Chains A and B, each alone.
Chain A
Amino acid sequence: METPGYVALSRQAALRRELDVISNNIANMDTPGYRGESMLFVEYLANTKDKVPAGLRKISYVQDIATVRDLSEGAKTATDNPLDLAISGDGFFAVESENGERYTRNGAFMLDADGQIVTTSGLPLLNEAGQPMVVPDTAGRIDVARDGTVSYHEQAGGDAVQVGRIRLVQFENEYALKKDADVLFRADDQAALPADGSEILQGFIEKSNVKGVVEMTKLIQTVNSYQSAGKMVESEHERQRRAIQTLAGRSA
């Protein structure tokens, strides 16, 4: 029956990792397109060989089994920048990275030296045909329609010229997407399906969906739980010490 220490330890180890997740959320509070995460805990039951009634023969430890992503939409802020795009509804932008296609909700795009529409880390945004979109340098203002059609006007007037339509994709199981650095998601084996019904807002950016107040509350809770688990270890230590003293005193 020397398990209380280990039960508390399992709690403390899990809480330390939860604090890591919370800190990452807070650190990325201003990262556009970032999706907050929270730790999912489960009870881990273990058998003991103690001679106690059957119902008490299980000891429950705690295990952090998964990080669960918050899939809610982040707030949209107007930026007046024509290449800031936000998705209203489900879906991701598809961008081409060196290691294959990646998906992102971070709509801060810009033009690179070749006139391609790229993310701030330089990855080209893909159109429906899976090709980068190129805007010639004679273009005046670039327009992105709600359905994702990108067009531009020559500066001196004239008709709008279409460049292509932005490909929006969604996934059957968004929770299974893996996070890469630079606010990118990786699909691995999942097929990217067209995200119908979602719209693109030009001149807006989707902030991260992290709610500062909620994270601060979780932060405080985590610290308090960690400390109370620590108290438990201490009182268990005290109990054992007294037991030894008492028993040693009697036998002497």
Chain B
Amino acid sequence: MRSLSIGATGMLAQQMNVEVISNNIANMNTTGYKRGRTEFHDLLYQDLRRVGSASSDAGTIVPSGVQVGLGVKAAAVYRITEQGNITITDNTFDIAVNGKGYFQVELPSGDTGYSRAGSFQLSPDGDLVTPDGYLVQPGITIPLDASGVTINASGEVWVDIQGQVAPTNVGQLELATFANEAGLEAIGDNLFLETVASGAANVAAPGTEGYGTILQGALETSNVNVVQEITNLITAQRAYEMNSKVIQASDEMMRSVTQMR
């Protein structure tokens, strides 16, 4: 019975939908998190009576045949890379990107990870690192005797050193952009990896054409809209229930057959 398996595809798809929604809600407060959305597509169609086939000798044709679809599939879970809100934290090493671009982080494996979460800290050596201790690329070292650090919109890092009137430039932050941001592979810990789908990273200083600017003392929050997610959750739950009713109905029909004699 086709409708049994069609109902099952519907339940499976909605289950995945709920999983994606719950992950969005769980990461509501994750810095730099980009929400995901499940995208559904219909499955193949079976022609029980072909469109356009002749219905008589006189050449009359069937205007619309009987096409029966075989259900639904979750075609993609794609990330919506819209900018999240910016919250001011007044913390020196909290850095938000306003616009396009990812920070580059050196992973223990030697690969480069990309991140929108700019909650950085200093390592014992004064290097700028992520909360996991991974080095931010290109490396920036803050001298131990620095009394103040300023990061400007174009990513230049200036430090005040006691006894010196003019601030010293200790480095330049860079941002990476991708042709298809949604194609990046998320690996957890607010990090992404480059893939064939995303295209190669283009690296430049913040504020140059096509790149966002840097805001010191601020963090980008997740772009999850809670009200929307809860609404989606309710819709998904109802859709799941309706699909289970389809299975129940198919079952009832089959039962009425087995009880016949």
A27 in contact with B13 (CB, 8 Å): yes
A179 in contact with B69 (CB, 8 Å): yes
A30 in contact with B42 (CB, 8 Å): no
Residue of B52, B65, B75, B183 contacting most chain A CB atoms (<10 Å): B75
Closest partner residue, chain B, to A215 (CB atom)? B242
Q: How far is the CB of A130 from chain B (nearest CB, A)?
A: 23
A131 close to chain B: CB less than 8 A: no
CB-defined interface of B13-25 with A at 8 Å, one 1/0 digit per residue? 1100100000000
A66 in contact with B239 (CB, 8 Å): no
**Which of B193-224 touch A at CB < 8 Å?**
196-199, 202, 207-212
CB-defined interface of B154-183 with A at 8 Å, one 1/0 digit per residue? 000000000000000000000001111111
Contacts of B246 in A (CB 8 A): 19, 22-23, 26-27, 219
A23 in contact with B6 (CB, 8 Å): yes
Partner of B239 from A16, A64, A212, A219 at Cβ < 8 Å: A212
A111 in contact with B182 (CB, 8 Å): yes
A27 in contact with B253 (CB, 8 Å): no
Contacts of A188 in B (CB 8 A): 51-52
B180 in contact with A111 (CB, 8 Å): yes
B76 in contact with A120 (CB, 8 Å): yes
B260 in contact with A233 (CB, 8 Å): yes
Cα of A179 to Cα of B65 in the assembled complex, Å: 11
Bin the interface of chain A by size: 35 or more
A172 close to chain B: CB less than 8 A: no
B68 close to chain A: CB less than 8 A: yes
Cα of A34 to Cα of B72 in the assembled complex, Å: 11
Cα of A28 to Cα of B75 in the assembled complex, Å: 12
B63 close to chain A: CB less than 8 A: yes
B49 in contact with A230 (CB, 8 Å): no
A234 in contact with B199 (CB, 8 Å): no
Cα of A227 to Cα of B253 in the assembled complex, Å: 7
Contacts of A156 in B (CB 8 A): 207-211
B187 close to chain A: CB less than 8 A: no
Cα of A80 to Cα of B43 in the assembled complex, Å: 27
A112 in contact with B42 (CB, 8 Å): no
B261 in contact with A237 (CB, 8 Å): yes
A140 close to chain B: CB less than 8 A: yes
B42 in contact with A212 (CB, 8 Å): no
A113 in contact with B197 (CB, 8 Å): yes
Closest partner residue, chain A, to B80 (CB atom)? A81
Q: Given A26-B10, A30-B13, A155-B209, A81–B249 Cβ distance below 8 Å?
A: no
**Which of B71-95 touch A at CB < 8 Å?**
71-72, 75-76, 78, 80, 82
Closest partner residue, chain B, to A230 (CB atom)? B256
Cα of A5 to Cα of B80 in the assembled complex, Å: 57
Contacts of A20 in B (CB 8 A): 2-3, 6, 68-69
B82 in contact with A227 (CB, 8 Å): no
Contacts of A23 in B (CB 8 A): 2-3, 6-7, 10, 71, 243, 246, 250
Contacts of A30 in B (CB 8 A): 13-14, 17, 40, 72, 235-236, 239
B39 in contact with A67 (CB, 8 Å): no
Cα of A186 to Cα of B45 in the assembled complex, Å: 12
Cα of A16 to Cα of B252 in the assembled complex, Å: 12
Residue of B7, B14, B66 contacting most chain A CB atoms (<10 Å): B66
Partner of B72 from A17, A27, A139, A155 at Cβ < 8 Å: A27
Show 5 residue pairs from A and B whose CB-CB distance is below 8 angstroms, ordered by the A residue: A20-B69, A24-B69, A112-B180, A140-B99, A237-B261
> 15 more A-B contacts (CB under 8 A) besides A19-B246, A27-B243?
A19-B250, A23-B10, A23-B243, A24-B68, A28-B10, A28-B42, A30-B239, A37-B69, A110-B182, A120-B41, A121-B76, A155-B100, A179-B67, A182-B41, A230-B257
Task: Name B residues whose Cβ lies closer than 8 Å to a Cβ of A.
Answer: 1-3, 6-7, 9-10, 13-14, 17, 37, 39-45, 48-49, 51-52, 62-72, 75-76, 78, 80, 82, 99-100, 177-183, 196-199, 202, 207-212, 225, 235-236, 238-239, 242-243, 245-246, 249-250, 252-253, 256-257, 259-261
The 3 nearest A-B residue pairs measured at CB: A138-B210, A27-B10, A24-B69
